[in-house]
């Protein structure tokens, strides 16, 4: 049984990947997560009792702790998702983004390189460091065109600049030291267990609470949406079959303006949980000041991933959004815990010592 390190495995995408790998592979996982405000072990309740899932509350900036984990667990690879991930937070306070996304990735690369250099030849050849990144490193598109693996980097927010820096470090560690790396750049994810500061869960929960739905600018910025479980499947596919040193773009082929997203959400809620006064949730839409430096449009050409590794998304935006809305309506406990910060207490109550790595 091979061991993999998953960093950021208590976050939105990391927890989806952990749930997928426990359900659909034989890997033993060491989930390395600092548990910031965005990390939530309650999102891992489905795998909490599985002996193949070990958890370590560790900061990826802590080199000594990483070294100890490498020598204790002898992993066959690392899938690196730990990051500060919210653009608005990066505008208000970029420091944590520089620290985790740049210094943390550097620290993890150095710990991985030290471990990898000491491996026997065959293990060394098989080792993979898979860096999970974003389409935001490519900047902002006009009315037409798509990002691909050959698009030049042009990050424009503190978040995307810190992710771009981490991408460059990962490539440098490949070219300079020979570390066998893979990188993926993905578009906007949505789905269950999404922290309610991002557009879709924020609008959904505000709508149910009777609060305003704050649309930045005119609501005409465009994102390419991918259901989170499709992203997790793509990560597994690239980790297992991707060519070393290569980058793969991942996208949902589902471009929508923010206004279209919010309107579709409101329609779904009008159907599944109609307002007591009979009005549509759309009446709660409110225009607010735009995000500074707001990227206009993102779109991904995922053709390389389709051609080389036969991946394409299973969910359309309509089916994925309907699943997402139903999930939030069916999980009021997760929602109330995440909003009250109570999940840290849940963690201490429910996460048994024996599963910590």
Active-site residues: which are they? 135-136, 159
Which is closer to ligand NAD, CB of 278 or CB of 341? 341
Binding site partner of 202, from ligand NAD, ligand DAU, none, Cβ cut-off 5-8 A by kind: ligand DAU
Which of residues 89, 168, 291, 331 is near ligand DAU by CB under 6 A? 291
CB of 261 to ligand DAU, least distance (A): 8
Coil, helix or strand for 271? Answer: helix
β-strand 255-257 against 222-227: which pairing, if any? antiparallel
Task: Name the site residues for ligand NAD (rule: CB under 6 A).
Answer: 7-8, 10-14, 33-36, 38-39, 59-61, 81-85, 100, 104, 132-134, 163, 186, 188-189, 195
CB 132 within 8 A of CB 106: no
Binding site partner of 39, from ligand NAD, ligand DAU, none, Cβ cut-off 5-8 A by kind: ligand NAD
Supply angle C-alpha 78, 308, 141, rounded to 5. 85
**Applying CB under 6 A, which part among 120-128, 209-217, 315-323, 338-346 lies near ligand DAU?**
209-217
* Measured distance CA(235)–CA(232) in Å, rounded: 5
CB 236 within 8 A of CB 25: yes
Q: Is 278 left (phi over 0), alpha (psi -120 to 50) or beta?
A: left
Binding site partner of 338, from ligand DAU, ligand NAD, none, Cβ cut-off 5-8 A by kind: none
CB of 159 to ligand DAU, least distance (A): 7
CB 109 within 8 A of CB 173: yes
* Measured distance CA(195)–CA(198) in Å, rounded: 7
Which is closer to ligand DAU, CB of 136 or CB of 315? 136
- 129-158 footprint of ligand DAU as x/- string (CB under 6 A): -----xxx----------------------
CB of 271 to ligand NAD, least distance (A): 26
Which is closer to ligand DAU, CB of 41 or CB of 300? 300
CB 48 within 8 A of CB 22: no
CB 171 within 8 A of CB 186: no
Residues contacting 157, CB < 8 A, separation 6+: 87, 90, 91, 136, 293, 295
Residues contacting 148, CB < 8 A, separation 6+: 249, 300, 301, 303, 304
**Applying CB under 6 A, which part among 38-46, 49-57, 145-153, 213-221 lies near ligand DAU?**
213-221
Which of residues 178, 196, 212, 214 is near ligand DAU by CB under 6 A? 214
Coil, helix or strand for 356? Answer: strand
Which is closer to ligand NAD, CB of 140 or CB of 188? 188
CB of 283 to ligand NAD, least distance (A): 28
Residues that bind ligand DAU (CB under 6 A): 85-87, 134-136, 187-188, 198-199, 202, 214-216, 221, 223, 258, 291, 298
């Amino acid at each position: 049984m091979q061991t993999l390190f998953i960093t950021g495995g208590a976050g939105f995408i990391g927890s989806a990947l952990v749930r997928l790998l426990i359900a659909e592979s034989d890997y033993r996982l060491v989930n390395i997560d600092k548990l910031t405000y965005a990390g939530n072990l309650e999102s891992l309740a489905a795998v909490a009792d599985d002996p193949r899932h070990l958890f370590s509350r560790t900061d990826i900036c802590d080199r000594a702790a990483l070294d100890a984990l490498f020598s204790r667990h002898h992993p066959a690879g690392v899938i690196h998702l730990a990051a500060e991930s919210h653009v608005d937070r990066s505008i208000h306070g970029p420091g944590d983004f520089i620290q985790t996304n740049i210094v943390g990735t550097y620290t993890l690369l150095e710990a991985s390189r030290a471990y990898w250099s000491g491996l026997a030849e065959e293990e060394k050849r098989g080792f993979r460091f898979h860096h999970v990144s974003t389409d935001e490193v490519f900047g902002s598109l006009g009315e037409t065109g798509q990002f691909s693996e050959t698009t030049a980097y042009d990050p424009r927010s503190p978040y995307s600049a810190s992710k771009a820096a981490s991408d460059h470090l990962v490539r440098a560690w490949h070219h300079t030291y020979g570390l066998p790396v893979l990188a993926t750049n993905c578009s906007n994810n949505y789905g269950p267990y999404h922290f309610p500061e991002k557009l879709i869960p924020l609008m959904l929960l505000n709508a149910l609470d009777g609060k305003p739905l704050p649309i930045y600018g005119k609501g005409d910025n465009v994102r390419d949406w991918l259901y989170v479980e499709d992203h997790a499947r793509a990560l597994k596919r690239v980790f297992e079959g991707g060519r070393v040193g290569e980058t793969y773009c991942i996208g949902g082929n589902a471009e929508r303006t923010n206004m279209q997203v919010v309107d579709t959400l409101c329609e779904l809620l009008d159907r599944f949980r109609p307002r007591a006064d009979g009005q549509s949730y759309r009446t709660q839409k409110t225009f607010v000041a735009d995000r500074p430096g707001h990227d206009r449009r993102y779109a991904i050409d995922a053709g390389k991933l389709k051609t080389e590794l036969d991946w394409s998304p299973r969910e359309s935006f309509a089916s994925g959004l309907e699943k997402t809305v139903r999930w939030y309506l069916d999980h009021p406990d997760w929602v109330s815990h995440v909003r009250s910060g109570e999940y840290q207490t849940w963690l201490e109550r429910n996460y048994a010592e024996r599963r910590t790595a």
